[in-house]
Copies of this chain bind each other. A is one copy, B any other.
Amino acid sequence: MSPDARGLVLVFDVNETLTDMSALGTRLEDAGLSADLLPQWFAGVLRDGIALTLAGGPAPFAQVAADGLRTLLARGRPGRDPEPLVEHILAGLPELPVHPDVPGGVRALLAAGHRLATLTNGSADTTRAVLSRAGLADCFETHLDVRDAAGHWKPAEAAYAHALRTLGVPAASALLVAVHPWDIDGATRAGLRTAWLHRTPTPYPSAFNPPDLKASGVTDLARHLSRPAAG
């Protein structure tokens, strides 16, 4: 990081970065699917939404997410009406818990004088619901999604530019915080600073631009940003 990391605007990704999506596994099981399908489903949702953005089409998150579940259900529960099951699974999104490191980390970052916001390919309403349940609603000044960025999903430059414009800061004053390397890479190319959260020890993929900072969670990130700059 630059010598002075104070007064940054921290822009958090939401799904998996703040929320623990594994809680959706129970709802997959309710629908007769294995909870192990969760990472495959979510990787497919991101693949499809990002592909639609690349090809120039609209990509409403709820629609792409539901489509992915219908595909899994057609294979795993053939002959069963998928719609109530899809609805049941997606109803879990606003009820997701945040990771254990999030509440303390968010409060520490706020206390250190940083501005906090979120930017999701999903829905800002869902973000609000999740953070309200976690008692963190007042810690963030705004919750953004990509519908106001002409529907362009991250990592399109337009998605990050929308956040910068709304927050009224230059790219160099913003720090994108995410668990997804493709998000770190896109934010870097858009000129933002970046922090990669890796709660499990995995290597950072070589094909992507590296983050400015690596932290094991939001609490650890707050520690990193409160350190005095080295000589």
Listed in ascending order, the chain A residues whose CB lies under 8 Å from chain B are: 36, 39-40, 43-44, 46-48, 50-60, 63-64, 66-68, 70-71, 74-75, 78, 153, 155-157, 181-182, 185-186, 189, 200-203, 205-209
Contacts and interface: CB of A to CB of B under 8 A. Distances in A.
Nearest to A34: B36
A186 B71 contact: no
Given A50-B50, A52-B208, 13 more contacts: A36-B36, A47-B182, A54-B156, A54-B186, A55-B185, A57-B189, A57-B207, A59-B207, A67-B205, A68-B205, A70-B202, A71-B203, A74-B200
Q: Chain A: interface secondary structure?
A: helix
A207 B47 contact: no
Contacts of A43: 40, 43-44, 47
Nearest to A49: B207
A79 to B, nearest CB: 10
A58 B70 CA distance: 32
Nearest to A51: B182
A60 to B, nearest CB: 7
17 contacts: A40-B43, A47-B47, A48-B181, A50-B51, A50-B54, A51-B155, A51-B182, A51-B185, A52-B207, A55-B155, A55-B157, A55-B182, A67-B207, A68-B205, A70-B205, A74-B200, A74-B201
